[in-house]
């Protein structure tokens, strides 16, 4: 969506032309020229001052809403905020890189190994991406708990197929320990490669936070053929035994293209495929900007069908979040019952943690939903706050762990859901055993009694003499 040109400066004779430092000249693409009648590039959005937002949660939520509305590089305005007698100016987001520019960046001679300063030290983060290849940047999902859109943009920036294949070959030939298995061809998401808005002018002016919520936008393309072709070409390379897909899959997009799901399930799943419904209940999903469970169920049926046709025993591993803004205790219980009905036992649970630039963080702090118009009368968002409630939400997701049963039982009684305690598939946790019921509470160790200003002189003398 922009193009780069190398400067015509001649390189010194002793430097090979291909190694010479080149200057990029960025030229905006026509689709991102200013829209007639909308001189957004000559204006700015004034945010409530820092002194106001740090003390007023509603104004904080309003400022967050304005900021997230100004993230489209085709129409975003600069942001202005006063800080005492100074002011902060934030320029609009940079234009997205086009394929030529992306290829230029990834053609740099990256070493693909940790810096020598680490020596033989084991680096888990490096092990995870050691044999993976990044094929694109950006995400138009807009999930409330994620800030990828703010970091990389909503418009997908793609590498060319040739550029990606060259990196796979380079990894095969140069990276120590490569065994022929590519651990991932992906990015922020697994399957947004080459997906884009069908109308460039709509893409340049849209201010919606997500292109896929509450449903996939009619302007958004869902043709996965470029990605299918990339998969086929990568796994056909000499020396490549397997190409796995480990990035997060947008299954709501995938089910629009059954050919892609079949290709993925038949050739690129190593026994388990991780996907992230994040929740099962409508209220938390609405605040997360995640699709409802009907999309998950449809993808699950397709996954099982194509796995069976390929003669493979493969499983879906769903990921869930506990204590996300908008989640009530009853939502967690309903999700736990869904997990039990579907015979899932979670080993690990992701407890929501507020992080910078996320809409969910604004909800957590202000109890206001910035995805809607913010007023003094805005509906309050249910926030699982405090260590007791957050631990409870996490414990409910691990309903099968005996260590959590006492806490879950107490919560179910308080919620008027005592019927979920007992034996049978309709119950979440078993009733307390005789041993648990008869176990007396531990006694505190005997210590010295404390004294206050109200303790009588006689009592003070007696206690001191002991």
Other CB atoms within 10 Å distance of the CB of residue 126 = 13
User: Do 139 and 180 share a domain, yes or no?
Assistant: yes
Counted domains in the chain: 2
Contacts of 37 (CB under 8 A, 6+ apart): none
What is the rounded CA–CA span in Å between residue 249 and residue 180? 23
CA distances from 74 to 39, 43, 48 (A): 12, 14, 24
132 forms beta bridges with 184
Q: Say if residue 257's pLDDT is above 80.
A: yes
What pLDDT is recorded for position 438? 65
In terms of domains, do 189 and 103 share one? yes
Domain co-membership, 46 together with 130: no
Residues 54 and 198 in one domain: no
pLDDT > 70? residue 456? no
Do residues 253 and 146 both lie within one domain? Answer: yes
Q: What is the pLDDT of residues 328-387, one digit of tens each?
A: 999 999 999 999 999 999 988 899 999 999 999 999 999 999 999 999 999 999 999 999
Does the pLDDT at position 454 exceed 70? no
Which residue has better confidence, 154 or 30?
154
29-85 per-position pLDDT tens digit: 444 454 455 566 788 999 999 999 999 999 999 999 999 999 999 999 999 999 999
Residue numbers of the domain that contains 129: 96-113+122-268
The set of residues, in sequence order, having a beta carbon less than 8 Å from that of 357 and lying 6+ positions away, is: 147, 150, 151
User: If 0-12 CB within 10 Å is exposed, 13-18 middle and 19+ buried, where does residue 310 land?
Assistant: middle
Residues 83 and 134 in one domain: no
- Among the candidates 244, 268, 292, a domain finishes at 268
Both 100 and 217 in one domain: the answer is yes
267 has a pLDDT exceeding 80: yes
Q: What pLDDT was estimated at residue 20?
A: 47
Contacts (Cβ under 8 Å, ≥6 apart) of 94: 73
Q: Are residues 202 and 234 in the same domain?
A: yes
pLDDT digit string, tens, across residues 436-445: 766 654 544 4
What's the mean per-residue pLDDT of the chain?
A: 88
Residues 278-304 have a mean pLDDT of 97
Say if residues 197 and 154 touch (Cβ distance below 8 Å): no
Same domain, 58 and 103: no
Residue 10: pLDDT band by 50, 70, 90 thresholds?
very low
Within-domain flag for 66: yes
Q: Which residues pair with 220 in a beta bridge?
A: 197
* Nearest-10 Cα torsion for 161, 162, 168, 172: 150
Q: Averaging pLDDT over each range in 36-40, 200-204, 264-268, which range is the top one? A: 264-268
Asked if the structure places residue 352 within a domain, the reply is no
Question: How far apart (Å, rounded) are the C-alpha atoms in residues 316 and 271?
Answer: 9
Strands 2-6 and 86-90: unpaired
Is 217 found in the same domain as 206? yes
**312 part of a folded domain:** no
Under DSSP, is residue 38 helix (H, G, I), strand (E, B) or coil?
Answer: coil
Please report, rounded to a whole number, the percentage of residues in the chain having pLDDT higher than 70: 85
Write out the H or E segment, with its range, that includes residue 436: helix 434-438
Task: Look at residues 268, 300, 327 and tell me which one is the last residue of a structural domain.
Answer: 268
Q: Are 137 and 188 in contact (CB under 8 A)?
A: yes
Q: What average pLDDT does range 101-110 have in this prediction?
A: 96
Residue 370 in any domain: the answer is no
Q: Kind and range of the H or E element at 177?
A: none
Residue 198 forms part of a structural domain: yes
Whether 54 is covered by a domain: the verdict is yes
Q: Do residues 87 and 144 both lie within one domain? A: no
Backbone torsions φ then ψ of 286, nearest 5 degrees? -65, -40
Can you state the angle between helices 99-106 and 161-174, rounded to 10 degrees?
10
Output the domain CATH number for residue 255: 3.30.750.210
pLDDT for 300 = 98
Domain end, chosen from 211, 237, 268, is at: 268
Residues 132 and 237 in one domain: yes
């Amino acid at each position: 969506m922009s193009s780069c040109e190398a400067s015509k400066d001649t390189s010194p004779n002793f430097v090979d032309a291909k190694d010479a430092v080149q200057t990029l000249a960025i030229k905006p693409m026509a689709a991102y020229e200013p829209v007639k009648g909308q001189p957004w590039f000559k204006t700015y959005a004034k945010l409530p001052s820092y002194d106001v937002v740090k003390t007023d949660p509603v104004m904080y939520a309003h400022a967050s809403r304005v900021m997230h509305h100004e993230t489209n590089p085709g129409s975003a305005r600069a942001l202005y905020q006063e800080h005492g007698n100074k002011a902060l100016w934030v320029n609009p987001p940079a234009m997205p890189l086009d394929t030529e520019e992306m290829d230029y960046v990834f053609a740099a001679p990256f070493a693909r190994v940790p810096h020598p300063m680490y020596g033989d030290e084991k680096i888990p983060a490096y092990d995870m991406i050691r044999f993976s290849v990044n094929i694109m940047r950006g995400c138009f999902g807009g999930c409330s708990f994620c800030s990828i859109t703010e970091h990389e943009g909503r418009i997908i920036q793609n590498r060319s197929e040739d550029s990606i294949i060259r990196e796979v070959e380079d990894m095969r030939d140069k990276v120590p320990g490569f065994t022929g298995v590519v651990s991932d061809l992906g990015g922020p998401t697994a399957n947004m490669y080459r997906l884009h808005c069908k109308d460039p002018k709509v893409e340049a002016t849209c201010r919606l936070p997500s292109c896929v919520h509450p449903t996939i936008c009619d302007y958004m393309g869902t043709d996965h053929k470029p990605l299918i072709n990339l998969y086929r070409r990568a796994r056909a390379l000499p020396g490549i035994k397997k190409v796995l897909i480990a990035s997060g899959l947008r299954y709501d997009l995938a089910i629009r293209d059954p050919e892609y799901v079949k290709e993925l399930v038949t050739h690129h799943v190593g026994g388990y495929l991780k996907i992230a419904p994040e929740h099962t209940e409508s209220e938390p999903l609405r605040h997360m900007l995640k699709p409802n469970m009907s999309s998950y169920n449809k993808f699950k049926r397709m996954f099982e069908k194509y796995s069976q046709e390929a003669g493979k025993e493969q499983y879906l591993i769903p990921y869930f979040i506990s204590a996300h803004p908008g989640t009530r205790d009853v939502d967690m219980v309903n999700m736990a019952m869904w997990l039990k009905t579907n015979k899932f036992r979670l080993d690990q649970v992701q407890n929501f943690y507020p992080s910078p630039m996320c809409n969910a963080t604004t909800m957590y702090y202000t109890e206001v939903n910035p995805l809607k118009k913010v007023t003094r009368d805005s509906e309050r968002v249910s926030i699982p706050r405090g260590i007791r409630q957050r631990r409870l939400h996490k414990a409910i997701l691990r309903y099968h762990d005996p260590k959590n049963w006492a806490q879950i039982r107490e919560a179910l009684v308080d919620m008027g859901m005592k019927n979920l305690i007992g034996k049978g598939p309709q119950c979440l946790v078993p009733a307390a055993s005789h041993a648990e019921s008869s176990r007396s509470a531990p006694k505190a160790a005997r210590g010295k009694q404390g004294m206050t200003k109200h303790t009588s002189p006689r009592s003070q003398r007696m206690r001191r003499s002991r």
